[in-house]
Structure 1
């Protein structure tokens, strides 16, 4: 198993995984839209994607989006997506993907990696807490739904 920095050449396989990820979060499958969305991310350099590769087959990914902390005047990476195909789960692949993302963040001079997950996703919460991610008790998370 290797983790690679994905690029436009991985678009087709990555789009399938991205569509599965969205289905996991109760979205309707739309492979064409998933592919277009990822294509735009690569084209515009909006995100960084790491993919887990098992002998030429992509089986998981994580996607980071850049942000900044005005207070510290440093880069922050938002680990927005983490997904591993169901048949590949419990093999340490999510940890490998997070290792790659965290190392990338350190190398870019970031002050932190932030993420969120559903309150019902206990598996993800255990993974993050085991990696020393701290549940923020100081700030509330707000969202304004526009569409």
Structure 2
């Protein structure tokens, strides 16, 4: 198992997992849309994607978006997406991808890696907490849907 930073040449295999990830969140399958979205992120250097690869098969990914903290005067990373192929779950791939995200944040001098997950996604919550993430019950999260 290797954790690699995805490049444009990895686009097709990452797009398949990204499409499955979106379907997990009740979005309709749109492989071409998923591929196009990721291509724009990678081509414009707008996100960092780490992939878990075993025998050339892509088994999982995480996508990070850069941001900044005005309060801390430092960059931060938003871990926006984490997904493991169903057949590859419970093999520590999530832990390895989280470690890659952490290492990237440290190497870029960031203050934190932040993330959000659904209130009923207990498996993900357990994974995050087991890997040092702390839930913040003090901050309210708001969305303006456009």
Q: Please report the TM-score for the alignment, with normalisation by the length of structure 2.
A: 0.99
RMSD: 0.5
- 2:98 and 2:131 in contact (8 A); partners too: no
Counterpart of 1:15 in structure 2 is 15
Gap regions ≥5 residues in structure 2: none
Q: CA deviation at 1:131?
A: 1.3
Q: CA deviation at 1:138?
A: 2.0
Q: Does 1:73 align with 2:73?
A: yes
Runs of 4+ in 1 over 6 A off after TM superposition: none
Counterpart of 2:100 in structure 1 is 100
Q: CA deviation at 1:139?
A: 1.2
Q: CA deviation at 1:132?
A: 1.7
Q: In structure 2, how many angstroms separate the alpha carbons of the residues matched to 1:84 and 1:137? A: 27
Counterpart of 1:90 in structure 2 is 90
- State which drifts further: 135-144 or 86-95: 135-144
Q: CA deviation at 1:39?
A: 0.4
The CA deviation string for residues 2-38 of structure 1, in whole angstroms up to 9 with x for no partner, is 1000010000000000000001111100000000000
Paired residues for 1:1-147 under 5 Å: 1-146=1-146
- State which drifts further: 110-119 or 132-141: 132-141
Q: In structure 1, how many angstroms separate the alpha carbons of the residues matched to 2:6 and 2:29? A: 22
Q: Please report the TM-score for the alignment, with normalisation by the length of structure 1.
A: 0.98
